[in-house]
Amino acid sequence: MTHPTTQTVEAPATTLAVDARDLHKSFGAVAAVNGVSLAIKPGEIVAFLGPNGAGKTTTIDMLLGLSVPSHGTVSIYGHTPRGAIARGQVSAVMQSGGLLKDLTVRETLELTATLFADTRPVDEVLERAGITEIASRMVEKCSGGQQQRLRFALALLSDPGLLILDEPTTGMDVEGRRDFWAAIRADAARGRTVVFATHYLEEADAYADRIILLRRGKIVADGSAAEIKNLAAGRTVTARLNAPDQPAIAGLPGVDSVSVQGGKVSVHTKDSDVVARYLLTQTDAVDLEITSNNLEDAFVALTGDDAQTPSLAEGN
């Protein structure tokens, strides 16, 4: 095309680290993953949080190309999962297994390193994973925590753009866990994207920039830890009270919901002070209690069996 048009220079769109669209995966009649879409930017640290059977591992397997979605597409830095793996662009630390017992720690790394076009030096990843001293030890002689560090070292070899971790700190002691996350954060600062599945709420709370809450194969919430906590909304004020004026309470600023059961009123609110002040000064309320919601409450509220499939999911 040669006709002279004014060219608009667009900023190059940043390639997403993970661009998954409408993933479905069924095993027989069971839909393990049922319409999951993910857009993860380079450098983000994202936690997949959810109860057993929520679809975390199935989703990870599809991101890694270990299983093929029944429907939907996955793109990792603009490549298919297999294409991204062939370029050393994505690596993963699995929960268990995956190591040969009859190799030493160093041999395992040397062998794996030969399979990539470019890798970091073996000595460097040994040091980063904190296993330099056990480099010549046979894998079968290593403790569970040491084996987990070796898996981490293997994942670091290709200096991947995307690191996927399935329950990464299982078997590590408290100190090991803290060191591990320090190393992960340092890497994220270099532009490494990290996606991890965990059932440790504190871990997701403390280390993830973003938490994706999964329930029954669907995303039920997606946001920062603070945003997720807010989804299960602030605090609950309860009190004993004769003839509560429900509309008046519901009209107070910050109140999300009011329920009355027997002589007890329970108010879900973002501003517990206003509710407490009202109840104690304008009514005959007694036994007033204020409880705050934490991530665990949000987790239970959003992923529990009786949770409504909330409109909260769109709250991102």
Partner 1 sequence: MSTLATPSPTQPERVSLERRVPSAGGLNVTFIKIEIRRLLRNRRTVIFTLLMPALFFLIFGLPNKDQHLPNGQSYGSYILISLAVYGAMTAATSAGGMVAVERALGWSRQLRLTPLQPAAYIAVKALSALSLALLSVATEFVIGFAFGVRMDWQIWLIAGLVAWLGSLTFAALGLFMGYLVPSQNVMQLLGPILAVLAMLGGLFVPISVMGTTFGEIAKFVPTYGLGQLARSPLTGDFDWSWVVNVAIWLAVFTVGATLAFRRDTKRV
Pairing of strands 193-198, 162-166: parallel
d(CA 195, CA 19): 13
Q: Please state the closest distance from residue 208 (CB atom) to partner 1, in A.
A: 18
Q: Please state the closest distance from residue 210 (CB atom) to partner 1, in A.
A: 19
Q: Are 27 and 34 in contact (CB under 8 A)?
A: no
Nearer to partner 1, 139 or 232 (CB): 139
Q: Are 227 and 79 in contact (CB under 8 A)?
A: no
Q: Please state the closest distance from residue 121 (CB atom) to partner 1, in A.
A: 8
Nearer to partner 1, 77 or 278 (CB): 77
Q: Please state the closest distance from residue 221 (CB atom) to partner 1, in A.
A: 28
Q: Please state the closest distance from residue 252 (CB atom) to partner 1, in A.
A: 50
Nearer to partner 1, 1 or 117 (CB): 117
Q: Please state the closest distance from residue 143 (CB atom) to partner 1, in A.
A: 9
Nearer to partner 1, 89 or 272 (CB): 89
Q: Please state the closest distance from residue 101 (CB atom) to partner 1, in A.
A: 7
Q: Please state the closest distance from residue 23 (CB atom) to partner 1, in A.
A: 18
Nearer to partner 1, 65 or 223 (CB): 65
Nearer to partner 1, 89 or 269 (CB): 89
Residue ranges that bind partner 1, judged by CB under 8 A: 15, 64-67, 77, 85-89, 91-92, 94, 96-103, 107, 110-112, 114-118, 120, 124, 127-134, 146, 149, 154, 159-161, 175-176, 179-180, 182-183, 186-187, 190-192
Q: Are 314 and 225 in contact (CB under 8 A)?
A: no
Nearer to partner 1, 149 or 235 (CB): 149
Which amino acid, 91? S
Nearer to partner 1, 66 or 313 (CB): 66
